[in-house]
Structure 1
Amino acid sequence: MKIGIDISQIAYKGSGIASYTQNLVKSLLKIDKKNQYIFFASALRRRYEIEKFIKLFDVNGNYQFKLYPFPPKMMSYLWNKMHILPMEKFVGNTDVFHTSDWTEPPARALKVTTIHDLLIFSQPQYVNPSIVENQKAKLKWVTKETAIIITDSQSSKNDIIKYLKYPADRIKVVYLGIDKIFYPQSDDAIQKVKNKYKLNFDYLLFLGVNDKRKNWDLLIQAFSQVKTAGLKLVGISSFLSTYKFTDEKIKILQYVDLQDMPALYTGAKAFIYPSLYEGFGLPVLEAMASGVPVITSNRGSLKEIIGENGFVIDPYSTIDLVSTINQVIGLSSEERNNIIYKGIQHTKKFTWEKTASETLKIYESLI
């Protein structure tokens, strides 16, 4: 079987879409030596990120890369708006083609696409209007032409059924994997990272990207009511690093190296992720795998992903979050170790090899 995959989103280094695409490709090529793969990519100014990824692979293998210097706006216009130039013009004939989350080209091949979430319908106020417009144009063609939709969670599947009216039996839930760097770190590793980022205190950790959907304002309001002596709130956010917080118990790190994240997770008293909506919520699993109690939202996929292995709150309730923070801080050593153990065991279900294996079965089911 000849399988085509659009890997253009790898150009957006650091994004969840780039991580998904990179890990899916690496894992597919690791587990599947039988089928032939053709990887299409189109990028102009960010072309170097894709070139860097391609260099990770040997010249000889059951794959080939086809990289074109076309900007994403151009491809979006041609494929999502005009819907011209079939994918075969760029990659030749394939049996199955897996499109990206940004464009939906016409193709003679049976098409698969991944929808990570439908925030553009459920909470469009958090999405740039140009992204909403592009996504709706793409999804119009998905509903008409795509054989199978892959999505990250049952919660996202429910949204696809609700908003796109797509047949449930043609939507397949495939959970994402966790990078193997995330596991409980030693005391020495934790201290080294704390020294690097000047964290000489106990802390709660959160991630706050340039997105109010992450609900960092409610968290900061809740933390102001937590009275534990010496405890601070540490956030990782280039966006929030520009804010001038009057509360000295709040420290914002503009950037953290990926290799430092496991120790930063392990060293925290808790990881807090009160997002209003997620299609999956990978940071929750990364934190659990690193050995820290997790407090997260009961909205979107987060309650589904965490199961009974952490603490869920109403993301609109400051009182609920304050109470849960105090509950976690007050855990005995035995209770804390038990919830950490459960979390680590739970995260072992989420591997990129499993993601790739289930995705490959979907490709093969179409032929």
Structure 2
Amino acid sequence: VPDHRSAHPRRRRRGGGVPPLIVRPERSSCGPAYQPHHPGQPHLPGQPVPPWGPAPAARPSRAGKFVGAGALVLALMFGSGVAGGALALALDGDGGVTRTYSAAPVLNSADLPKIAAAVQDSVVSIITDNGEGSGVILSADGYVLTNNHVVASASGDTVKVVFADGKTAQAKIVGTDPKTDLAVVKAGGVSGLKAAKFGDSDGMQVGDQVLALGSPLGLQGSVTAGILSARDRTIQAGSEGQQQDPQRAASSISGLLQTDAPINPGNSGGALVNTRGEVIGINTAIATAGQGSNGNIGVGFAIPSNKAKDVAEKLQRGEKVSHPSLGVSVNAAEDGGALVAAVTPGSAAEKAGLQRGDVITKFGDKVINDSNDLVGAVQSGKVGDRVEVQFKRNGSAQTATVTLAETS
């Protein structure tokens, strides 16, 4: 591929790249896992059998491989020096409120350039020692929202930000939240930046048109178009090419928006916008066709703007981001539901009397068909929520009330 940097200063083709994010849906975690064996993993020959015995076999995963949409070290839970705790993200529950959906206008192709032009100045490139990602401007004085796995590749506490006009600035990492894969940086010596306008991600409907903006493969200012393919997706994330640490549970990100707008390495942290030019998601992951492939196949994921904005505001203020935990590791059960592979000592689940081998079929008012359903249901709650759980133990239907705790 020819190098076009001399022809267009905003297009930069950066070489290299690092192992991308992958997903293992059959190994879900709703909180901290036992040590040292990873609950939910089949027992392997030559490994010591954990105190509770080999975990029950999970159903074969029907999901594909998911990779981080950034040409950077995808720290998450599997790289060296990564902050502890599994990723966990979900939309807030409705709380009994009836929501009215307001569809974004459907536009023809002639309208899309206007939308892209209106948003491009609010999207930046973020460069670290190991690669390049994207970011969205939060404020005129230099706060920028991006993915945690983008800044996790920085060797120190600063990154380089490249604005749409080609100007650059050093930015300090203000705060990170690995569990939602979000981070905020603050560019120094800048003012008058164009902050992005955030829209209501809960108001988006499947089929709505969207645009993805960012720096795929270092090509800053790139725009792609598609639709919102699905809502409320849950993925399990790891790092391709790196051996999974058996002492860590799989990283779960739930409540995600799915889109077929082409997203590629380098788009991480960039904007997914609606036809009003509002940011309704932060691009974070993509699916690939198989081993050795990490390009777009039309299955990408974005963190909903409502969640992203809430986390970003807390990080800007230096506040802790709260994450609910049930304290179990689960697999998909043969006949439906989430099979409890392990219960963390002292967790909400243990206090409520849940045991290894229980099959959770309902969490509050949400029917649980597999382990991903349970991850999403738990993360849609709040710390301190009291939730009735329906489960089967040895074929007998039972109920318990759990009080969601803070993820450690």
| TM-score by shorter chain over 0.5 | no
Structure whose residues are more often strand by fraction: 2
Structure whose residues are more often helix by fraction: 1
Could you tell me the TM-score, scaled by structure 2's length?
0.24
Question: Greater relative contact order: 1 or 2 (C-alpha under 8 angstroms, separation 6 or more)?
Answer: 2
